[in-house]
Amino acid sequence: MKKSFVIYVLSDSVGDTAEQVARATAEQYKNTDYEIKKYPYVESVVKIDNIIDNVDVKNSIFVYTIVNQEISEYLKKVCDQKNITYIDIMAPSLDKFSSFLNQEPLRESGVIRKLDENYFKRVEAVEFAVKYDDGKDPRGILKADIVLIGVSRSSKTPLSMYLAHKNYKVVNIPIVTGSKVPDQLFEVPRKKIIGLMIDPSDLIEIRRERIKVLGLDNSVDYVSIEKIYEELEYAQKIMKKLGCPVIDMTKKAVEEAANLVIDIINDLN
């Protein structure tokens, strides 16, 4: 004869972990029928009382992941009083980790959910950086957290991608001598725009390496020192007109430049 029972899954977050553990465990037993009733976001003793009032004590088991100590202790006390079988999934792990790390846990609910949200924000920021890379669509300027402007090979793209991994939506716009910059640059707060400058001698070396990779001739204007001076002078005029902060990228690692950008953005907010 099959035994029928109800698994009450309680959590102060979404409850997926407790449900998966309960289901995986219950499936190990033959000749049983079970039903799972899940109660996410159990964040008060009142909610626990409301749940327990409708429980068939003899045919129920509580499986829960509640990190809030007060609520967890209350649930244990009520279960003991009513002789309800319960499993605190988090307790053994928290005890072992606390002993191993020699520190107390945060006891903060929904931490994994917050980490997931952070992950999706990062993915969104990276996709944004790719979509609006190198001025592909100037409309992105109005949606961005940060707008990087500078001449070719001033590290706009790698800096954009690094900042994207820090959850910033970044657009980078190339400044080309004689070409009009997008009107949108004059429609966003100046604090969002960061100009990137670089020493001409460094820039020419970077560009020479680039055309070598592309298999182009060294005589092109792209690596002409006169043209590079002209480009940088034009870029400086644009940045001055915009009134934006400027970072010297000469010999700077992307990580160092990113920290400077973030400091500037935070200081101006």
Show binding-site residues. 150-157
Taking the C-alpha atoms of 183, 187, 192 and 196 in order, what is their torsion angle to the nearest 10 degrees? Answer: 20
Q: Which residue has the tokens 């977050």?
A: 13
- Residue 111 is encoded by which pair of tokens? 């931490």
d(CA 254, CA 10): 46
Residue set of the binding site for ADP:
150-157
Distance from chain centroid for Cα 89: 28
Look at residue 171 and give its three-state secondary structure.
strand
65 — phi, psi (to 5°)?
A: -125, 90
Q: Are 67 and 108 in contact (CB under 8 A)?
A: yes
- Residue 61 is encoded by which pair of tokens? 């088991």
